[in-house]
Amino acid sequence: MAFVFALCLTAGLQAERGNYTVGSGTGTTNEAPVNNTFRNPFTEIIYRASYINSRPGRVESISFKYAFDVIMTEKPAVTIYLANTTVEEFETARAWQLDNLQRVYTGAFNCHEGWNTLEFDTTFFYTGNNLLVVIDDYSGSYDGEAYKFYFTQSWGNTVLRTQNDNGDWSVGRWLQQVVHLQG
């Protein structure tokens, strides 16, 4: 089973600008893009190029559609990385994609009902391939099971996630020491 999270990318394509919405967002989950039932979640999501349907260009922001009418307040420390990839799905539950990650956002991931846009600190160049979105939430807290995001069911394994509920470190912090991340 796979999910395509209701995603909106703002891309500047030479003289054009456009918003590219991926998925219709018919289901809801509290497990991704950030897991609201655990502390320190780490999530990787693959968006296939066929879903994005965009030409190459600069990506300046990302939006996720939040499904709950109570503001999410417990995610003050999140880092988002992007990477162009040819990988279409995760082959195993440990098939983390760690190559060529570019840090694009550091800050809060607190959402209100509807679309929530995170403006990037660093512009990302999208090549037209599949897009890997990595979200490292090291806030050390969670909102609860009722806090959900919209998604569209898809084919294949396109989401990997883990968490460390018992400590003050996140998997992403550990990965930064193991793998050189760009940005």
- Give tens-digit pLDDT for 95-125: 888 888 999 999 998 888 888 888 999 999 9
Check residues 120 and 182 and name the one with the higher pLDDT: 120
Instruction: Identify the CA nearest to 132 among candidates 88, 77, 176, 180.
Output: 88
Q: What's residue 179's pLDDT?
A: 43
136: left (phi over 0), alpha (psi -120 to 50) or beta: beta
Mean pLDDT of the chain: 76
**Domain residue ranges in the chain:** 2-178
Q: What's residue 177's pLDDT?
A: 43
Q: Coil, strand or helix: which one is 177? A: helix
Instruction: Identify the CA nearest to 44 among candidates 145, 142, 131.
Output: 131
Which tokens hold the place of 83? 């990477």
- Give tens-digit pLDDT for 118-170: 899 999 999 999 999 998 888 887 777 778 877 777 777 888 888 777 764 45
Question: What does pTM read for this prediction?
Answer: 0.82
**Contacts of 47 by beta carbon, 8 Å cutoff, 6+ apart:** 4, 7, 22, 130, 131, 132, 133, 158
Q: Cβ of 87: how many Cβ atoms within 10 Å?
A: 17
* 183 pLDDT tier (thresholds 50, 70, 90): very low
Check residues 12 and 165 and name the one with the higher pLDDT: 165
